[in-house]
Structure 1
Amino acid sequence: MSVPSCSTSKGLNNETTKEEVVYGKWERFTNWVHCICIVTFDLELGQAIEAIYPSHVKLSEQERSNVCYLAFPDSNSGCMGDTQYHVRIRQSSKTMQETNALKEYDRKSPSFLQTDRDYYWGYVYFRQVKDKSLPRGYFQKSVVIITKLPFVNLFGELCALIAPEFFETGIALMEAVVREIDHWPPPVPGQIVHLPLIGVLFQTYIPNQNYKAVVPTIAAMEHTSNVHATRRLILTSAYEGDMFRSLASVVSYVHLLWELVLLSEPIVVMASSPTTCSEMVQALIAMIAPLKYCADHRPYFTIHDSEFKEYTTDSPTPPAVILGVTNPFFAKTLQHWPHIIRISNGNNSEDQKYKIKRSENLKVLDSKPGVYTQYKSFLQKDKTILKKLFRGIQTKRPGQVQTALLKRHLIELTESFMIPLERYIATLMPLQKNISPFKATPTPQMFNPDDFLASLSSSGPQLTTGIKGDWVGLYKRFFRSPNFSGWFHTRYMELSQQLQVKQLEKLSQADLKTWVQGKQEVEVVDMILRIRQKLEKSCIDDVPIDNSVREKLRERINDITHVLPDDLKVILRHES
């Protein structure tokens, strides 16, 4: 009697669609990139997609429109020369099939680096230069890499290599790029990847769930085989930008900003360039790592975005989103937002002033940099880290050292906040003795805020941090945020999967030869079908079950099938 097994790949048969054949052909490419768009300025149409590589990729009308408008800095930005930034684009079509490698990547990567089924990342390289041979007198074009991966550092570097070459040489270059990416190995968390592209070898480390693991040294990265490149580019991180540089202008308020991001508060970042915007938004969501930021965030947002009306509605409580904007129009449209970060052109920490936003002061949003909010922090500042960082500014300490100091402090702060929650959620698991192979799979208990808050006196953040303040008030506010909902949903699903695994393991070890004695046929058939259903559910839910457990379950089914009459055996065999 066969047991269902999880199939990881579909063979091509007569019913295979043309789209599936194309998808299968480009699967290795899709592991890394959905497509590369070339966006140009058309005199009649405005911003328009000139080409998509590979050519078989289809974007919905809404996706095409969003790509077009996000591919150019706002006209008010006045960006001459080359400009780089990144965006997030809502995925409106379901044409993209998730590859097995991306599913595996999501299983093994830390939650804050997993893909999002509702969004693409777009990495933009825009060039605007004077060209008298063109009707408008300007060359305006962008290369946009669209992908599901949040590797801001890596794709920023890839874009910086591809775009200038493409602007000089054209289509042949892009076709070569696409072919080469289609030969890359999959993105495997916990491994160094070697990615050759038009004469440059990119080497970087993709973190796994042990996000604190020591990144392999450059020497380890240097070992490659059969890769010919004239230049090697080693990226110590695929996804991290220069956090301190982005936050330097508001470093005095880093603890306040950490709370706002933790609580999924609506924040708008106003700057003069999409580069500054996108880097600041990225630094903000990175502040709460290893916790995943579960609300929406738009590193760069324009008035043409398909969600513009949704996000600029004049409701008393704006949506939970962090927006990066450059158009002065937003200073008026979003003046009612509770938290506004205004970044100066020079991004100099000395000319930033912290301000409480009051209605009579709103005009200063057009000019003066600062943090505008009426939010009262739950926690006190950690003055020790601030002194260290300010001393670093005075002594011109290297940026990467400042970033390392700040990042370590924020990770410890987030972990101090999350450890009591993790400890409490472990208590929601049923006891091992209550898991029976002959009953329904038990479910974890639901989260009880009062029980959790009662546990803080003995196992609260005071055990791991010296920061004082109203931790209880912060937790209560956190329970109402998308970040809590997202975290709890993920952890609850993980607990449920653990219970499925534990029950299947018990079932695989159960003595069904004794159990079957004296049982009626209907009970035996019911047990066989239940084992099958549990295995099918484990496949659908992607529950990691050892092959030895599957083999033992096959034996258990055989242990009880022999008592059934031949006609029932035949029916069960046909249904399997």
Structure 2
Amino acid sequence: MDRSSSFPARKLEHDSGGDAAAAPSLEHWLVGFCTIRFDLEQGQVVEECYPAGALSQEEELDVAFSSFPDSMANSRASKDFGVHDTVFFFRTQRRGLPLENSISRRSSLTRSTSTLPFKAEDQDGARLSIDSEVLKKKSNEKSVGVNGTAINGLGKGGQKYLYGFVFNRQRYDAKLKRGGEQKSVLVLSELPLYCVFKPLVELLGPLYFENGVAALEQAALHMSRWPRPRFGTMMELMLGKVVIKSHLPPLHTLPPGPGASRDGFTSAMAPVSPSNRSVPQSIFHDVNLYGVFKGLLGHLWTLWELLLIGEPLLVISPTPSQCCEAVAGLISLIAPLPCSVDFRPYFTIHDPGFASLNSCTEEDRIPPMILGVTNVFFLKALKMFPHVLSVGACGSLDRKKVAGKATSQGRLQKQIQLVRRLYPANLLARKEGPLCLMGEHREALWTTHSPATKGDVQVLNRLVNAEPSLCIEESTSVVNNDALRRHFLELTTNFLAPFGPYLRASTPQEGISPFLGPPPLPPFDALTFLEALAGRGPGKFLSKRSNTHWLNLYRQFLEGPNFMPWFQRRRAVAEQEQHRLWRDACNKADVRVFLRKMTEVEVVDSFNAVERHLAEEIEVSRESGIDFNKTNAFEKITGDLKAIFEFLPKDLQELMYLNPQRAKFLHL
């Protein structure tokens, strides 16, 4: 990505590109910008919020408390450097109503708000009904959610989340009170586009501290010219002299919730082949798995299972940046399966959901969630979590600098040891438990889960052998990351393969009339599926990498929160694809050829199917602003409908005319 030290010197109000006509494109990307200062007497203070009123009072509090480090790891390590910058991101639930008349901010921000209107869009996602007692039993269980409400299962949609990408600067100066100050610049969005907003805030943060509010104005000006997000494609987004080149993840990889309409959502989420490596398979595909988990490589397969079945997981790291990258890396580990559990890359004690979690007892069932924290206080407060992951190097200011000074040979020896010790019997400090981190941070995994898959020694050996052949450590990390991503993508794809027959669109066979309409997809029943799978086995790829407990992993996956939303999405895509294939077959076929071979019941069914097809095409044309009456499809469909109608007995024809809508179609 190209970088520039500054924006072109232009005023927002005098630039012809900053008019109201171009500005609405901003709302498709952002909720707004914020700058927050830590005041010694008042605490966190929101200095600017652009546009004014974009956040409710509750959201301003949530954003303010999530925008600063929650531990002293950065402070202790940064005092010798004068200035220390940290980039991280958080996720919090949207709540309250946006302020229509918010507290006055700086005039330079409020002045520009009228030209950049922001709106919020919502969508209630649909949920697929599956005939399975196992799933029904699980969905009826209630648990305490992060927001303190009862949860009947995740992935229902409707709940909005706010993603905040933070550039935090800590400046140490003996002349200042308490020897320093800190301030954060935020990019806020409802879209988890890590590949866009992380580089954006990395650019915008230094520019703000150099140029002040003008940097936010210029950023808003240039972003108002951006096209709408095109999911699943490469986009080049201009920000002054800078080009942010990012491949947006496909729409179906986004967490369930707000977004496009259901029809638009399903039409845009045609499955992408995992073998197509140019298309990202996760919203966090840019996270370096090897760089984040290089000290825990032997446990990646256990972590993959925990994420797959949606188990509650507490992730603790010394710094917010390490913490949020670890959570993002874990979510990307199960790609192309979207993560439907509630995840918080950076969670603090000030989060409104902390009180409800802190009040949980051992009898309460912790809902599926991934919490990333930096404060060791959580180890005591949330000791009911069954799985705890400690990741990251303590006291590391810059991962690349520290990695460059470390010797490769020492790390290689650690990797070799990890290859030989892959299972929970050798988890670090097993008897002492996670509370040992109160004294000293070290990378480890504590879990009650019995893994069904075995660590792939061949993959780990390839990582070990690759490093000495490269001179630049960053290049080694990229190569190893690519190898890990390919392996876990293949692992997840093979795990999901047995569900293929239930998600596969069918085409009309030769001699079968397409005018009867497509048959329904095969019904899915969890118990029947497990019985059939037990008989034929998990497949060659998984058989080599799993033990005798592999069927239980499928059972846990079916009962977990990730299955239903994924199955519903893929099912909707398959149904839509099947309808498209049958419509295409109808457009190419002569209905009169099939009418001669049909029974009276089949003729009626064909009439109803073509009638539905006509109604759907008229609705789609109306939404698209197309005159359907002037298209070739209109002539073909109406001609087929009239041909079938003429083939019906007279008494049925008279009955058909009693329906006003049907009579209208017949006279088109």
CA contact (8 A) 2:22 2:225 kept: no
1:425 to 496, 502, 515: 502
1:257 to 303, 326, 346: 303
**Equivalents in 2 of 1:238, 1:287: separation in Å?**
9
In the alignment, what sits opposite 2:183?
141
In the alignment, what sits opposite 1:65?
61
Partner SS, residue 464 of structure 2: helix
1:286 is matched by which residue type in structure 2? S
**Equivalents in 2 of 1:286, 1:557: separation in Å?**
49
Q: CA distance change for structure 1 residues 568 and 447 in 2, over 3 Å: closer, same or farther?
A: closer
CA contact (8 A) 1:69 1:305 kept: yes
In the alignment, what sits opposite 2:361?
314
**Equivalents in 1 of 2:394, 2:618: separation in Å?**
57
In the alignment, what sits opposite 1:388?
462
In the alignment, what sits opposite 2:375?
327
In the alignment, what sits opposite 2:160?
118
- Give the 5 Å matches for 1:71-150: 71-79=67-75, 80=78, 81-92=84-95, 96-98=119-121, 118-130=160-172, 138-150=180-192
**1:538 Cα deviation (Å)?**
7.2
In the alignment, what sits opposite 2:477?
399
**Equivalents in 2 of 1:248, 1:503: separation in Å?**
50
Q: CA distance change for structure 1 residues 23 and 99 in 2, over 3 Å: closer, same or farther?
A: farther
Over residues 422-461 of structure 1, what are the superposed CA-to-partner deviations in whole Å (9 max), with x where a residue is unaligned? 2x32479798799975689846512333335424654633
CA contact (8 A) 2:165 2:197 kept: yes
Q: TM-score, normalised by structure 2?
A: 0.65
CA contact (8 A) 2:505 2:578 kept: no
1:377 to 435, 451, 468: 451
In the alignment, what sits opposite 2:6?
none
- Give the 5 Å matches for 1:21-40: 26-40=23-37
Over residues 66-119 of structure 1, what are the superposed CA-to-partner deviations in whole Å (9 max), with x where a residue is unaligned? 21111111154444521111111223369844599xx9xxxxxxxxxxx99632
CA contact (8 A) 1:356 1:373 kept: no
**1:36 Cα deviation (Å)?**
1.5
Q: CA distance change for structure 1 residues 315 and 35 in 2, over 3 Å: closer, same or farther?
A: farther
Q: Which residues of structure 1 form unaligned runs of 5+?
A: 1-21, 104-114, 217-236
2:276 is matched by which residue type in structure 1? A
Over residues 149-203 of structure 1, what are the superposed CA-to-partner deviations in whole Å (9 max), with x where a residue is unaligned? 3332432221111111111211122111101011123332454322221322222
Partner SS, residue 237 of structure 2: strand
Partner SS, residue 311 of structure 2: coil
**1:210 Cα deviation (Å)?**
4.3
Confirm whether residue 336 of structure 1 aligns to residue 384 of structure 2: yes
In the alignment, what sits opposite 1:411?
489
Q: CA distance change for structure 1 residues 125 and 262 in 2, over 3 Å: closer, same or farther?
A: same
Q: TM-score, normalised by structure 1?
A: 0.75
Q: CA distance change for structure 1 residues 569 and 318 in 2, over 3 Å: closer, same or farther?
A: closer
- What is the RMSD of the two structures over their aligned residues, measured on CA atoms? 4.6
Partner SS, residue 294 of structure 2: helix
CA contact (8 A) 1:279 1:299 kept: yes
In the alignment, what sits opposite 2:141?
none
Partner SS, residue 69 of structure 2: coil
- Give the 5 Å matches for 1:223-242: 239-242=285-288
In the alignment, what sits opposite 1:466?
544
CA contact (8 A) 2:219 2:239 kept: yes
Partner SS, residue 489 of structure 1: helix
Over residues 522-561 of structure 1, what are the superposed CA-to-partner deviations in whole Å (9 max), with x where a residue is unaligned? x99999985565558879999xxx9865664455567799
Partner SS, residue 479 of structure 1: helix
In the alignment, what sits opposite 1:354?
427
CA contact (8 A) 2:193 2:248 kept: no
CA contact (8 A) 2:388 2:447 kept: yes
Over residues 24-80 of structure 1, what are the superposed CA-to-partner deviations in whole Å (9 max), with x where a residue is unaligned? 75332223322112222245542132222234x622333222211111111544445
CA contact (8 A) 2:91 2:161 kept: yes
Partner SS, residue 482 of structure 1: coil
Q: CA distance change for structure 1 residues 395 and 505 in 2, over 3 Å: closer, same or farther?
A: closer
1:88 is matched by which residue type in structure 2? R
Partner SS, residue 139 of structure 1: strand
Partner SS, residue 83 of structure 1: strand
Over residues 495-530 of structure 1, what are the superposed CA-to-partner deviations in whole Å (9 max), with x where a residue is unaligned? 333454456557766859989xx99xxx99999985
**Equivalents in 2 of 1:527, 1:426: separation in Å?**
22
Q: CA distance change for structure 1 residues 140 and 58 in 2, over 3 Å: closer, same or farther?
A: same
- Give the 5 Å matches for 1:167-566: 167-206=209-248, 208=250, 209-210=272-273, 212-215=275-278, 239-312=285-358, 313-316=360-363, 317-343=365-391, 344-345=393-394, 350=414, 354-355=427-428, 357-358=430-431, 361-366=433-438, 367-369=440-442, 370-392=444-466, 398-422=476-500, 424-426=501-503, 437=515, 442=520, 444-455=522-533, 457-458=535-536, 460-463=538-541, 466-470=544-548, 471-501=550-580, 511=591, 534=616, 549=633, 552-553=636-637
Over residues 479-505 of structure 1, what are the superposed CA-to-partner deviations in whole Å (9 max), with x where a residue is unaligned? 111111222121222233345445655
CA contact (8 A) 1:428 1:445 kept: no
Q: CA distance change for structure 1 residues 125 and 550 in 2, over 3 Å: closer, same or farther?
A: farther
CA contact (8 A) 2:292 2:326 kept: yes
2:361 is matched by which residue type in structure 1? D
**Equivalents in 1 of 2:333, 2:24: separation in Å?**
34
Q: CA distance change for structure 1 residues 192 and 63 in 2, over 3 Å: closer, same or farther?
A: same
Over residues 336-369 of structure 1, what are the superposed CA-to-partner deviations in whole Å (9 max), with x where a residue is unaligned? 21111123416896599833745x5453131252
CA contact (8 A) 1:420 1:456 kept: no
CA contact (8 A) 2:344 2:370 kept: yes
Partner SS, residue 296 of structure 2: helix
CA contact (8 A) 1:154 1:238 kept: no
CA contact (8 A) 1:86 1:124 kept: yes
Is 69-78 or 373-382 further displaced after alignment?
69-78
**Equivalents in 2 of 1:570, 1:263: separation in Å?**
49
Q: CA distance change for structure 1 residues 469 and 172 in 2, over 3 Å: closer, same or farther?
A: same
1:193 is matched by which residue type in structure 2? M
1:241 is matched by which residue type in structure 2? V
**1:309 Cα deviation (Å)?**
3.1
In the alignment, what sits opposite 1:154?
196
**Equivalents in 2 of 1:452, 1:431: separation in Å?**
29
Is 121-130 or 175-184 further displaced after alignment?
121-130
Is 412-421 or 550-559 further displaced after alignment?
550-559
**Equivalents in 1 of 2:180, 2:572: separation in Å?**
53
Q: CA distance change for structure 1 residues 260 and 524 in 2, over 3 Å: closer, same or farther?
A: closer
